[in-house]
Amino acid sequence: MGLFSIFKKTGATPTEPVPTPPEESARLDANSELARLNTQALQRDIARATAMKIDAIESAMAFDIFNTPEPAWGSRPPRPAKPAESAPAATDESAEAPPDTVAAADDDGNADADDPATLPLIDEATTELLDEEDLPLSTVMAESASVVEEIAVLYASGQQAVAEQMLVANLPACGGQDRTIWWMLFDLYQIGGRQDAFDNLSIDYASCFETSPPAWNAVAAAEAPADSYSGVAPTEAFAGVLDGAIAPQLERLRQLAAGSPVLRLEFNRITSVEPDGCALLLAALQSLQRQQRELIVVAAAELVELIRPIIAVGRRDEGAAPWLLLLELLQLLNREKDFEESGMDYCVTFEVSPPSFVAPQKVAMAARQHVSASPDRFMLPPVIEGNLDTLLAAIGDYAAQYPAMVFDCSRLSRLELGAANQLLAQLQTLAAGRRLEFRDVNHLVTALLRLLGYAELARIYPHKY
pLDDT tens digit sequence for 83-133: 444 444 443 433 334 344 333 334 333 444 344 333 333 333 333 333 444
Q: Looking at the DSSP assignment, which residues form a beta bridge with residue 408?
A: 379, 439
pLDDT digits (tens, 9 = 90+) for 210-265: 888 888 875 544 444 445 667 777 888 899 999 999 999 999 999 888 888 888 89
Give the per-residue pLDDT at 455. 94
CATH class of 377-462: alpha beta
- What is the arrangement of strands in the sheet containing 235-242, beginning at the earlier edge strand? 235-242, 262-273, 294-298, 363-366
Q: Please compute Rg for the chain using Cα positions.
A: 28
CATH 3.30.750 is held by the domain 235-366: yes
Task: Report yes or no: 411 and 379 within 8 Å, Cβ to Cβ.
Answer: yes
Q: Do the strands 231-233 and 377-379 form a parallel or antiparallel pair, or are they unpaired?
A: antiparallel
Q: Do the strands 262-273 and 294-298 form a parallel or antiparallel pair, or are they unpaired?
A: parallel
The string of DSSP codes covering 287-344 is HHHHTT-EEEEESHHHHHHHHGGG--TT--TT-SHHHHHHHHHHHHTT-HHHHHHHHH
Q: How far apart are CA 300 and CA 360, in angstroms?
A: 13
- Between 296 and 59, the more confident residue is 296
Say what the pTM is: 0.57
